[in-house]
Amino acid sequence: MGATAKKKPATPPRKSVRTKSASKKRSQHRARPKLIDDPFSVEHMVGHRDLDLLQHGILTVAAYPHFFPVCYEKNGKVKGSDVDIIKRFAKLARVKVQFIICNTFDGIWNYPAHDKADLSIGGIANSKGRTHKRVEWSLPYFYVHRSLLFNKKHPVSNFPDDITDTVLGTKGSTGWIDAEKRLRKNRKQKYLKPGTSDAEDIQFLLDGKIQGIMRGDFVSRAFIHDHPKELSVITWNAFSELLAKDGEVFAFPCRRASGVAAMLSAFLAHLIDTGDIDTLVKKYNLK
């Protein structure tokens, strides 16, 4: 009788190992039908619209980083409420973001017109004199009043009557133009000087080296939140000839016909409707 063949031990069934990346891909894949199921949602509108960008798949953003807490630099990175909005929009639009730092504010709204950026950020008012045939503006997302931030040791109750020393501002901004017009009427335009950086300007004010800083009212409140014992503010409306029909509003200038302005406006409307804009206001102490 022949030898019986030895049976090979049964191979145990192979266990499937789920890696984090594979699991993440599957969860992303499962989430996509939600966008298709609701064609009228902002997620569907933005996520399924092909944007005509300067670089394929990259949203190029010109950023003025000296407007804390709307747009500022910290540890080499651009941060702020404007930055948060754009990053969330880009994620929804499935594109990357590339920031171009612009240390000069005057004229930053024309970067999209000259194909230097897809849009610009940094607390930019959609005001008269900033229109261009190659620029489309997004929906307004903040309403602003003019203000002067001052040291309580040297209080200011009226601008420009009480101005006797240096006031810092951002050259080319609505605040700068408004202040220049008011100071000129009182022959005090010599006191208006361009600032350098938010941190340095605030330190000058705390040290009593200047009399005030020109900013939008909600930005001034953010500084007061950090220095409640030392700083205060007075507010007023800018000259009507400097304003859009809705008053002084912040919006984003975008390249015309790129699709960015329309989709960003839809996203901003969504943030306003859901109260997410109010969350940003609280996060950055803008109230």
Q: Which tokens is 27 given?
A: 């969860």
Number of independent structural domains in the chain? 2
**In a shared domain, residues 106 and 202:** no
Q: What is the pLDDT of residue 247?
A: 78
Quick: pLDDT tens for 134-147.
Answer: 999 999 999 999 99
97 lies in some domain:
yes
Quick: pLDDT tens for 54-106.
Answer: 999 999 999 999 999 999 999 999 999 999 999 999 999 999 999 999 999 99
Distance set, CA 26 to CA 19, 31, 96 (Å): 11, 9, 21
Nearest-5° angle of CA 62, CA 64, CA 65? 125
E strand segments, 153-195: 167-169, 192-194
**In a shared domain, residues 196 and 73:** no
**In a shared domain, residues 266 and 231:** no
Task: Report the alpha-carbon distance of residue 140 to residue 163 in Å, rounded.
Answer: 32
**In a shared domain, residues 41 and 124:** yes
Give the structural domain span for 60: 36-143+246-283
Q: How many CB atoms lie within 10 A of CB 189?
A: 14
**In a shared domain, residues 70 and 200:** no
7 lies in some domain:
no
18 lies in some domain:
no
125 lies in some domain:
yes
pLDDT tens-digit profile, the chain (287 residues): 344 444 445 555 554 444 444 444 433 433 333 444 455 567 656 756 789 999 999 999 999 999 999 999 999 999 999 999 999 999 999 999 999 999 999 999 999 999 999 999 999 999 878 989 999 999 999 999 999 999 999 999 999 999 999 999 999 999 999 999 999 999 999 999 999 999 999 999 999 999 999 999 989 999 999 999 999 999 999 998 888 777 789 999 999 999 999 999 999 999 999 999 999 999 999 87
231 lies in some domain:
yes
Distance set, CA 53 to CA 138, 182, 267 (Å): 16, 41, 17
**In a shared domain, residues 98 and 132:** yes
DSSP conformation class of 253: E
Q: How many CB atoms lie within 10 A of CB 97?
A: 18
Task: Report the alpha-carbon distance of residue 23 to residue 17 in Å, rounded.
Answer: 10
**In a shared domain, residues 45 and 133:** yes
**In a shared domain, residues 87 and 154:** no
Cβ atoms 198, 67 nearer than 8 A: yes
**In a shared domain, residues 152 and 263:** no
136 lies in some domain:
yes
User: Is this model's pTM higher than 0.85 or not?
Assistant: no
DSSP conformation class of 247: B
Helix H segments across the chain? 20-37, 42-47, 81-93, 174-185, 198-206, 217-226, 260-274, 276-283
164 lies in some domain:
yes
**In a shared domain, residues 164 and 65:** no
**In a shared domain, residues 61 and 192:** no
SS3 state at 281:
helix
**In a shared domain, residues 182 and 206:** yes
64 lies in some domain:
yes
List Cβ neighbours of 113 (8 Å cut-off, separation of 6 or more): 132, 133, 134, 135, 253, 255, 256
CATH at residue 86: 3.40.190.10
